[in-house]
Amino acid sequence: MHTAFNRLSSTFGFFTTCAALAAGVIALLTVLPFPPITEHPSASISVSKVEVVKGRPHYHSSKREEYAQIRFDLNADLSPLFNWNTKQLFVYVTANYPSSAGGVSEAVIWDAIIPSPQSPYSFDNLKTQYWEPWVNKSKKSKTLKSKKSTKPARVTTDLVKPGLLNLRNQKPKYHITDPSGVLSERNNVTLQVSWNIQPWVGALIWDKGYLGNRVGAWDIGKEGVSEPFNFPPLKGSKPVESSSPAPEAGSAAPATDV
């Protein structure tokens, strides 16, 4: 009755159950979090240059329309978001502006992926430390006539603090467009920094979500939000002039008797 296949199925089922329980514990410790967070992320962003031009914002655009280009300065310290279960961090900057249909439109103008630094016990470092010297030694014994010797790469043992951003006059990756095709002279525009933690095991954590308030909260409205600004007039447009300008003082012609 207890065949080899049944024993293999039972062993595999026990292994998957233990792996699922271990993954659940890891995900739970990340959300609690463990160890406790003593520092919180911080960010400050400001606008350095704004212009609105008319053209085709994308190569696949079928018509010409107005689009905005925003350059910005960004200083951020997101290192508290990294822990032993963080795979990478997704950081992005959005522009929030009044929509033509009412409400507020949100458009991403820049993003970046910050990977977690490798530990001394990562697969690549262990491979560099133990596997490559053995392979190089065996190759050297087979090719004694070769004069070139390959040196193994240095193992990463330095502590690197990830998540530090210092950008000046950063060019946006994406242009801002609007369904109405008009963006010039819109008021109360702000830039906002947001992030998303992508762990090795567990759910994604967003700064605007419930888990984000527990893991890496910052005061929305004070951290990562720029001062309000306005979109300028369309670049290259001429100011509207009146067809009958008012006469200057002293230039009126004298009245004549009829």
In a domain, residue 153? The reply is no
In a domain, residue 76? The reply is yes
User: Averaged over 84-95, what is the pLDDT?
Assistant: 92
Confidence of residue 18 (pLDDT cuts 50, 70, 90): confident
Find the DSSP H helices in 149-204.
Answer: none
Task: Please name which of 188, 193, 226, 178 lies closest in space to residue 48, comparing C-alpha atoms.
Answer: 226
In a domain, residue 24? The reply is no
Sheet with 104-115, strands from edge to edge, namely: 104-115, 86-98, 190-199, 205-206
Q: pLDDT tens across 169-214, in order?
A: 999 999 888 888 888 888 999 999 999 999 888 888 888 877 777 7
Per-residue pLDDT, 33: 64
Number of structural domains, the chain?
A: 1
Q: pLDDT tens across 143-172, in order?
A: 554 444 455 445 444 445 788 999 999 999
Per-residue pLDDT, 258: 41
In a domain, residue 199? The reply is yes
Per the model's pLDDT, the better-predicted residue between 81 and 145 turns out to be 81
User: Averaged over 66-74, what is the pLDDT?
Assistant: 93
In a domain, residue 134? The reply is no
Q: Is 30 exposed, middle or buried (0-12, 13-18, 19+ CB in 10 A)?
A: buried
In a domain, residue 132? The reply is no
In a domain, residue 135? The reply is no
Amino acid at 168: R
Per the model's pLDDT, the better-predicted residue between 35 and 165 turns out to be 165
In a domain, residue 166? The reply is yes
The domain in which residue 206 lies consists of: 39-56+63-111+162-236
